[in-house]
Amino acid sequence: MEAQIPVFAIVGHPNKGKSSIVSTLAQDSSVSISPLSGTTVHCRTYPMQVDGKELYRLVDTPGFQRARAAMDWMQRHSTSASDHVEVVRNFVEKQRNHQHFISECELLTPILAGAGILYVIDGSIPYGPEYDAEMEILRWTGQPSMALINQIGKAEFFEQWQQPLSQYFKIVRVFNAQTASFDRQIQLLTGFSELSDDWHQPLQQAADQLQAQRRQRMNLSARCITEGLVNMLQASETSNLGNKDDQMEIDKAAEEFQQKLIRMENRMRSEVESYFNYHRLEREEAALGIASEDLFSERTWKIFGLSRDQLVTTGMIGGAAGGSLLDLGSGGLTMFLGSGLGAIIGGASAWFGAKKLIGTRILGLPMGGHQLVVGPITNLNFPWVLFGRAVTHLQLVSQRTHAMRDQLQIIHSTGSDIVSGIPSAQRREIQRIFTGAAKGHAVKEEELSRLVEVIVSLVAKNPDSSKRDESP
Amino acid sequence: MQKHSLLADLVDIRDQIARDRETSREQLQHRDRKIGLEYDRPLSAGVTRLRCWINVIRKQEGLSSSQVSSGIKAQQSINIVVTLLWLLGAICGWILTQTVLFYDGNQPVNIISALLVLVCTQLFTLLLLLVFSLLGLPGVLRSLSVFNPAALLLGLLKRINSDRLEAISKLISSTDITGTAALRQRLIVYLAQHFTVALNLGIIAALLYLVAVSDLAFGWNTTLDVDTHSVARWLKGISWPWHSLVPAAVPDIQLVETSRYYRLQGQLRNGDWQAAQLGSWWIYILMCVLVYGLLPRILALIISGVQYDRAVSGAMTSASGANQILARMSSPLVSTIAEGEDDSAITRNVRPPLTKRQSGRDLPCLVIEWSEAHSNTDKMTAVGIEPLQIFSAGGHQTLAEDRNIVVHISSHNPQGVAVVVKSWEPPMLEFLDFLRNLRQRLDKACPLIVLLTTISGEQVEGHQLESWEAGLADLSDPALYVEPL
């Protein structure tokens, strides 16, 4: 027979962060978290599956509402300590169809089915006698249990809680659902195996898989950032100008280009967030500011679809080819002067003659015209600004827990703190990639991979992640 | 399953990646992991795995035989371009040869000019391509592409508004960060080799035709004081590659001397017109075209074909999103989120809000401390409540003790009852039961005031007050009030 998978019922007083803990551990932002009591009235399960195979399951339960009354019922129906589990079972069976103890029946059902108990209290408020009945009922179920001290507010009453909790629970852990780092979450998960030896292997397997998933998320996010950055560095907008001095047209094109960059950055942000299961995360971030002098507006013209430089090169090659015939005809006596002169004449003709062709029409089609090219941005700091913003965002998203429901506030520093974390040799290498990309050169796969490595290492060594861990 | 070319797969993969942007990541993970588990061989190359992926997707999407994917359309476009280039090349080769080898019986065909046009030009362009490719000068190559028939044809394609040509046009105009730029260059070079191979075949065909249906005479002349022996040595050197294979195509000194002519004299150097001997140069020209024209171009076609395939493969693996596909296929699908919609939460009925107690003279009240919440006489007085007697309920009290308190308080027929509760705890149903019992025993108009205390005397937080107001509103009691203490 297949061994039963570990199931953990998250139980406790209403509004003490049960749903927050589930939200963080299940990395699920869809969990309803409300300051109003009794928001959760039914159990909701969160299976942890790897390729469809369930390794453990979390059950979010409604909070106790009438614990004293339930305890009173149980005490009245119990004759000795040996019948406690049976009494609890009878209570659930008898009261299941009555509204009065709906929350108690709902939360006790998975426990009676074999779930381990994770009893959640808020360590930022003092202990009160109203909790005793709840803890006593849980003890009566006879299931392995652990107390989790969550911290919703700022105050700390951990010491006050230690004594009552240790009377009912062998294991007491501190876990802040709002700020717990990923390592801390994994530590808590593997800690659940202390409740039963049988749960050690599936929980360890689950922890390994979650860590692998985390690594992959980081890599994919860094890849997304890398591709997004290069795309933004290479971005440009070309539009045909009726009049090369039309300032309104120029301003409009510059504005459209800026909006394009902002859209590209937002798309990059959303994709990174989706890797971490955030789908509608509200974000507050200073808009990407680009100085107009960095936009590199270039008014140029094209003939036969060739830029001025291309046209000159083409003219030079054509001239050189003609000159070389002269050289060949003279048997080399002209010492390749023909080729050289031809190239100069061809190039010069293209340079000076081309302007005259603008406005000329052949069969009604224009030969050339003025074009406005906005971007790519050539300011050397621009790639680093983008880089710093993207890395900061990834750091915040990767450290955020799903219990947090506020806006993601991205406060950017100058970016120098991020850049200073990169060894100078690596910084030069990245600068070279950025410069190449801004010039429109294709970025090699190895270069992209290097950038991915740098981003992942920068996020991994962020000092904030260690500060957020609490000691158990 | 229909076998698709690399290019067709590349175009279809890029299309599918674009379509996938509209699909949720969870759905993509499920779909691709399933493909990965059923078909994928994780150790194979990325290109093989991506091609396997797109084949399964095509099957899943149920693309019927009558439907043609963008990839197929792109490949068909390329095939059309190749065919056109072969035709164009062959025609150009034919016309070029007819022009260069034009002979009306007056002056022999200049062998040096023929070699220059038919062979050297090709070698020169091949050399240019090699040098610029090795030096990595894409800008110069782009400029040179003005003369490239393949680039011209592709340029024309971009301007033709056809559904069939849209895919290839999109591909060659795209600005993907890696791969695509190299692909565009490789495609043009590869297509150009088709043209040049056809050009050489056209030259050979025209040469053979002229030899077969007309008599040709070749000669050479120069104003310079050039030694015939040097020219012979030079021409012989050129024929080194085939000198043992086709000795007849190696010019000897006698033929070189015989072929020299002066236009002023209107005769050959030796003064003898030996038409048959002068015509024998054709085989030398043929071998030159074969060895220095056709053969290098066939080699270039093969090499550029391999490079083109590599570029397509490179563009496939470096396509934005391809990495994610491979990751989704090979990584276990880890899911921790809840199954189905969240129906665990209730939607509260909207109740009329609690009314505010009118401030005025102090209201004498019996006070109940619920679950050991501490009352504060001074603070109660400050909010207009005069505490008469204090009782305890909830917490460690039994339900029977709570009931006794209710009976005891109602027996006093009080003017008001204040219940002090902890603001940081939510209003539990147990507490609402207690209030309900109390109200049943009290006069309906007797004010029942719930006073919220705080942990250290600070202000009650807004969400706490809101929570209590919402919870107590469920009792629909017009004489029930909630106030911070």
Identify whether B51 is part of a domain: no
Distance CA B275, CA A175 (A): 104
What residue numbers bound the domain in which B105 lies? 70-327
Q: Residue B253 class from Cβ within 10 Å (0-12 exposed, 13-18 middle, 19+ buried)?
A: middle
More confident of the two residues A411 and B300: B300
Chain B residues 170-189 with a CB less than 8 Å from chain A: 175, 177-182
Identify whether B316 is part of a domain: yes
3-state secondary structure B303-350: HHHHHHHHHHHHHHHCCCCHHHHHHHHHCCCEECCCCCCCCCECCCCC
> How distant, in Å, are the alpha carbons of B392, B412, B413 from that of B408?
12, 7, 9
User: Does B42 contact A at CB distance below 8 Å?
Assistant: no
Write down which residue in B327, B350, B373 finishes a domain. Answer: B327
Distance CA B135, CA B133 (A): 6
Structure tokens at B90: 């062959």
Identify whether B418 is part of a domain: yes
Q: To the nearest whole percent, how much of chain A has pLDDT over 70?
A: 76
The answer to whether B424 contacts A125, with C-beta atoms less than 8 Å apart, is: yes
Q: pLDDT for B337-390, tens place per residue?
A: 887 777 666 665 666 677 777 766 788 999 999 999 988 888 888 888 899 999
Q: At what angle do helices B6-20 and B295-317 cross, to 10 degrees?
A: 20
Residue A417 C-alpha, separation from nearest chain B C-alpha, in angstroms: 28
Identify whether B143 is part of a domain: yes
The answer to whether B327 contacts A219, with C-beta atoms less than 8 Å apart, is: yes
Which residues does chain A have within 8 Å of residue B33's beta carbon, measured at their own beta carbons? 51
Distance CA B184, CA B167 (A): 13
The answer to whether B344 contacts A44, with C-beta atoms less than 8 Å apart, is: yes
**Residues 6 or more apart in contact with residue B340 via CB below 8 angstroms:** none
Does one domain contain both B442 and B368? yes
Give the nearest chain B residue to A442 (CA atoms).
B178
Q: What is the number of structural domains in chain B? A: 2
Q: What is the DSSP letter of A466?
A: H
The answer to whether A442 contacts B179, with C-beta atoms less than 8 Å apart, is: yes
The answer to whether B372 contacts A313, with C-beta atoms less than 8 Å apart, is: no
Write down which residue in B273, B307, B327 finishes a domain. Answer: B327
Identify whether B435 is part of a domain: yes
Q: Which of B181, B339, B346 sits opposite A41 (nearest CB)?
A: B346
Residue B346 C-alpha, separation from nearest chain A C-alpha, in angstroms: 6
pLDDT of res. B141: 60
The answer to whether B336 contacts A14, with C-beta atoms less than 8 Å apart, is: no
Structure tokens at B346: 């209730």
The answer to whether A216 contacts B327, with C-beta atoms less than 8 Å apart, is: yes
Extract long-range pairs of B24-31: CB within 8 Å, 24+ residues apart.
Answer: B24/A279, B25/A274, B25/A275, B26/B335, B28/B328, B29/B328, B29/B333, B30/B333, B31/B60
Mutate which of A124, A233, A314 to test chain B, going by most B C-beta atoms within 10 A?
A314
- The ipTM assigned to this model is 0.77
Opening angle at CA B441, ends B438 and B447, nearest 5:
65
Q: What is the CA radius of gyration of chain A?
A: 34
The answer to whether A28 contacts B336, with C-beta atoms less than 8 Å apart, is: yes
Does one domain contain both B293 and B427? no
Which residues does chain A have within 8 Å of residue B338's beta carbon, measured at their own beta carbons? 26, 28, 30-31, 44-46
More confident of the two residues A442 and A190: A190
Structure tokens at B409: 């308080």
Does one domain contain both B373 and B318? no
Write down which residue in B327, B352, B387 finishes a domain. Answer: B327
Average pLDDT of the residues in A4-21: 91
| Average pLDDT along chain A | 82
Residue A16 C-alpha, separation from nearest chain B C-alpha, in angstroms: 9
Does one domain contain both B194 and B290? yes
Structure tokens at A207: 């922890």
Does one domain contain both B194 and B278? yes
Q: Residue B263 class from Cβ within 10 Å (0-12 exposed, 13-18 middle, 19+ buried)?
A: exposed
Mutate which of B429, B472, B475, B482 to test chain A, going by most A C-beta atoms within 10 A?
B429
Helix extents (H) in A358-404: 382-399
The answer to whether B317 contacts A445, with C-beta atoms less than 8 Å apart, is: yes
The residue with tokens 């099957």 is: B59
Does one domain contain both B150 and B280? yes
Mutate which of B29, B336, B374, B475 to test chain A, going by most A C-beta atoms within 10 A?
B336
pLDDT tier, A468 (very low <50, low <70, confident <90, very high otherwise): very low
Phi, psi of A294 (to 5 degrees): -85, -5
- Is the pLDDT at A1 greater than 50? The verdict is no
Q: pLDDT for A317-376, tens place per residue?
A: 666 655 555 544 443 444 445 555 656 666 666 566 555 555 555 545 455 567 778 878
Q: Which of A32, A213, A279 sits opposite B344 (nearest CB)?
A: A32
> How distant, in Å, are the alpha carbons of A73, A81, A107, A121, B42 from that of A78?
9, 8, 20, 28, 60
Most confident among A71-80, A412-421, B98-107, B240-249 (mean pLDDT): A71-80
Name all domains of chain A by residue range, CATH numbers in brackets.
7-195 (3.40.50.300), 212-297+376-462 (no CATH), 305-366 (no CATH)
Structure tokens at B334: 């880890």
Helix extents (H) in A96-131: 102-112
- Is the pLDDT at A29 greater than 80? The verdict is yes
3-state secondary structure B4-60: CCHHHHHHHHHHHHHHHCCCCHHHHHHHHHHHHHHHCCCCCCHHHHHHHHHHHHHHH
**Residues 6 or more apart in contact with residue B359 via CB below 8 angstroms:** B384
**Residues 6 or more apart in contact with residue B24 via CB below 8 angstroms:** A279
Residue closest to A231 by CA, chosen among A196, A271, A202, A200: A271
The answer to whether B425 contacts A210, with C-beta atoms less than 8 Å apart, is: no
Residue closest to A470 by CA, chosen among A167, A266, A172: A172
How many CA atoms, within 13 angstroms, populate the side-chain half-sphere of residue B249?
A: 19
The residue with tokens 């652990």 is: A146
Distance CA B62, CA B54 (A): 12
Residue A423 C-alpha, separation from nearest chain B C-alpha, in angstroms: 26
Q: Which of B116, B398, B455 sits opposite A126 (nearest CB)?
A: B455
pLDDT of res. A330: 40
The answer to whether A36 contacts B467, with C-beta atoms less than 8 Å apart, is: yes
B266: left (phi over 0), alpha (psi -120 to 50) or beta: left
Give the nearest chain A residue to B329 (CA atoms).
A51
Q: pLDDT for A212-222, tens place per residue?
A: 999 999 999 99
Residue A23 C-alpha, separation from nearest chain B C-alpha, in angstroms: 8
**Residues 6 or more apart in contact with residue A43 via CB below 8 angstroms:** A9, A59, A60, A61, A62, A106, A107, A109, A110, B344
Q: Which of A30, A51, A67 sits opposite B332 (nearest CB)?
A: A51
Choose the weakest-confidence range: A264-273, A354-363, A440-449, B84-93: A354-363
Residue B320 CA, chain-centre distance (Å), reads 3
Identify whether B207 is part of a domain: yes
Does one domain contain both B257 and B376? no
Which helix (H) or strand (E) segment holds residue A342: the answer is: helix A337-357
Give the nearest chain B residue to A317 (CA atoms).
B144
B247: left (phi over 0), alpha (psi -120 to 50) or beta: alpha
Q: Which of A40, A209, A279 sits opposite B332 (nearest CB)?
A: A209
Chain B residues 422-451 with a CB less than 8 Å from chain A: 422, 424-430, 433
How many CA atoms, within 13 angstroms, populate the side-chain half-sphere of residue B176?
A: 28
Which residues does chain B have within 8 Å of residue A133's beta carbon, measured at their own beta carbons? none
Which residues does chain B have within 8 Å of residue A62's beta carbon, measured at their own beta carbons? 344
Residue B222 C-alpha, separation from nearest chain A C-alpha, in angstroms: 9
Average pLDDT of the residues in A211-238: 91
Q: What is the DSSP letter of A131?
A: G
Does one domain contain both B269 and B401? no
Residue B58 C-alpha, separation from nearest chain A C-alpha, in angstroms: 23
Q: Which of B178, B394, B455 sits opposite A130 (nearest CB)?
A: B394
Identify whether B333 is part of a domain: no
Q: Residue B243 class from Cβ within 10 Å (0-12 exposed, 13-18 middle, 19+ buried)?
A: middle
Mean pLDDT for each consecutive 10-residue tract of chain B (485 residues)?
82 90 88 88 83 90 67 85 92 92 82 87 82 66 62 66 62 57 79 92 94 86 80 88 88 83 62 66 91 93 92 87 91 87 64 71 89 88 89 92 93 92 92 94 91 89 89 89 89
User: Does B122 contact A at CB distance below 8 Å?
Assistant: no
Q: What is the DSSP letter of B67?
A: -
Does one domain contain both B382 and B461? yes
Residue A286 C-alpha, separation from nearest chain B C-alpha, in angstroms: 26
Does one domain contain both B323 and B431? no
Q: What is the DSSP letter of B362?
A: P
Residue closest to B200 by CA, chosen among B317, B94, B100: B94
The answer to whether A40 contacts B463, with C-beta atoms less than 8 Å apart, is: no
Does one domain contain both B146 and B219? yes
Residue closest to B36 by CA, chosen among B335, B326, B336: B326
Give the CATH number of the domain where residue B470 resides.
Answer: 3.40.50
Which residues does chain B have within 8 Å of residue A373's beta carbon, measured at their own beta carbons? none
Identify whether B344 is part of a domain: no
Q: How, if at all, do strands B218-219 and B109-110 pair? A: parallel
Residue closest to A220 by CA, chosen among A148, A271, A162: A271
Residue closest to B422 by CA, chosen among B466, B379, B375: B375
Does one domain contain both B315 and B386? no
